[in-house]
Amino acid sequence: MATSPKPPSPKKRNYPRAPISIRIQYQQPQKGIKEGFTAIMGGGGLFIDTVSPLPVGTPVNLEFGLPGQVGSVKVDGQVAWVRSHFDPKGFSPGMAIQFRKINEADRDKIVQFVMRVLLGQGESNP
């Protein structure tokens, strides 16, 4: 399994991120649906905790709900990097997904939710 170098530097990020654990469904095109939980989320992508991450570069379709929001968010993304095992700092294995195609209204919902979590006004766990 390919593992890319370290995740991007926070200085290169366009959107804030927060530790958020919500149920998510993800699917490779033409394959079965898998479920998991996010660990971190931002307007440009998210990290899914999983002991079976997909290879770097794999396209994925995501669907998840945000606490306090009606309906679900649907995103087309791509595996940006993988952590294949627990690292010394205690971070769990999983995969970072970069959003490739997302409705801007959905991105705004994500960013607003992340900001509420960062300000202590939102739920970050299911």
The pLDDT profile of the chain, 126 residues, written as one tens digit per residue, is 444 445 555 556 688 899 999 999 999 988 999 999 999 999 999 999 999 999 999 999 999 999 988 889 999 999 999 998 877 887 889 999 999 999 999 999 999 999 999 998 766 554
Q: Dihedrals φ, ψ of 106, to 5°?
A: -70, -40
> Domain holding 56: CATH number?
2.40.10.220
What are the two backbone dihedrals, phi and then psi, of residue 46, each rounded to the nearest 5 degrees? -155, 170
Is residue 10 in a domain? no
Range of the domain at 103: 17-117
Q: Does the residue 72 lie in any domain?
A: yes
Q: Is 126 a member of any domain?
A: no
In a domain, 12, yes or no: no
Residue 6 lies in a domain: no
Backbone angles phi, psi at 63, to 5 degrees: -145, 130
Give me the pLDDT at residue 56, please.
Answer: 97
Asked if residue 98 belongs to a domain, the reply is: yes
Tell me the pTM: 0.83
Do residues 48 and 92 make contact, with C-beta atoms less than 8 angstroms apart? Answer: no
Residue 30 covered by a domain: yes
